[in-house]
Amino acid sequence: MLKLAGARRLEDRDLSGVRALLDADPAVACMVAARVEAVGLQPSRLGGELWGFGPKLDGLCFSGGNLIPLRGGRGAMRAFADRALRRGRICSSLVGPSEQVLALWRELAPDWGPAREVRPQQPLMVMSGPPRVRADPLVRPVRSDELDRYLPAAVAMFTEEVGVDPRDGGGADSYRARIAELIAGGRAFARFEGDRVVFKAEIGALSRSAGQIQGVWVHPRYRGTGLGTAGTATIADRLVRGMGRVASLYVNDFNVAARRAYGRVGFQQAGTFGTVLF
């Protein structure tokens, strides 16, 4: 592996330059920008390290629970891979702009492979105006005392989407804590029919410019009824008109039904993400 001195851990003195880069593409950078805006660049607060490449930060990569390469060419990806290999794999996935994710994975695959799954084409969709369809007035923020009613739907969504139960391997407490955190922050939404969650989604990351919708799920008995479209419209409208952010999400290219639903809401493709799952 080629070692390049240009890959370095960024520090608070780099903050203004990092913020300028993150602000340049809010939807792409949302996951990282939300963390940086909240706590700065110190790893103990950030939950990982932010790496830069080159004197003008031509490359940028977050390394934590996820490895997120945001920008950079082949040289940057080689440098980030070298640093990641020396640190050891601590991430559960690579995710971010498809070009950078796939280039970084080519460097890491001989040592970290095989991946459990590679998803190279995931449309990144954005929306900055009001929804084109009627929002669901019954979709609302989940209350903290509803955690136990909401959690099974969150587990079902994760298992369907990722292919593993998030509670496996001793992860039940940490997953429950993460969902509780989203609920406490007013970023988990659901429509209940009695004690049953029939629609759910969360705002997984929220920066000063964008919010990323994640975990959209409809109970199997209610699929095909329009709940997913109307529910997503509710959350997107809250982001756009309620919070003054761009609404964003990314979706698997093979999920044609979801892509059509998001298009009806008013989302348009603005890029392509890729994901490598371990």
pLDDT tens track for 159-191:
999 999 999 999 999 999 999 999 999 999 999
Question: What are the strands of the beta sheet with 268-277, ordered from one edge?
Answer: 7-9, 49-53, 59-63, 66-71, 93-97, 268-277, 117-127, 246-250, 210-218, 196-206, 188-193, 140-141
The pLDDT value given to residue 3 = 47
Q: What is the pLDDT of residue 4?
A: 47
Percent of the chain topping pLDDT 90: 97
Average pLDDT over the chain reads 96
Reported as a pLDDT band with limits 50, 70 and 90, residue 6 is confident
SS3 237: helix
Prediction pTM value: 0.93
- 3-state DSSP call for residue 76? helix
pLDDT 10s digits, 18-73: 999 999 999 999 999 999 999 999 999 999 999 999 999 999 999 999 999 999 99
43 within 8 A of 36, measured Cβ to Cβ? no
12, 42 in Cβ contact below 8 A? yes
For residue 62, what pLDDT is reported?
98
Rounded average pLDDT over 238-242? 98
Quick one: pLDDT at residue 193?
96
pLDDT band for position 2 (50/70/90)? very low
Give the whole-angstrom CA distance, residue 239 versus residue 246. 7
Q: What is the pLDDT of residue 5?
A: 57
DSSP-assigned beta bridge partners for residue 59: 53
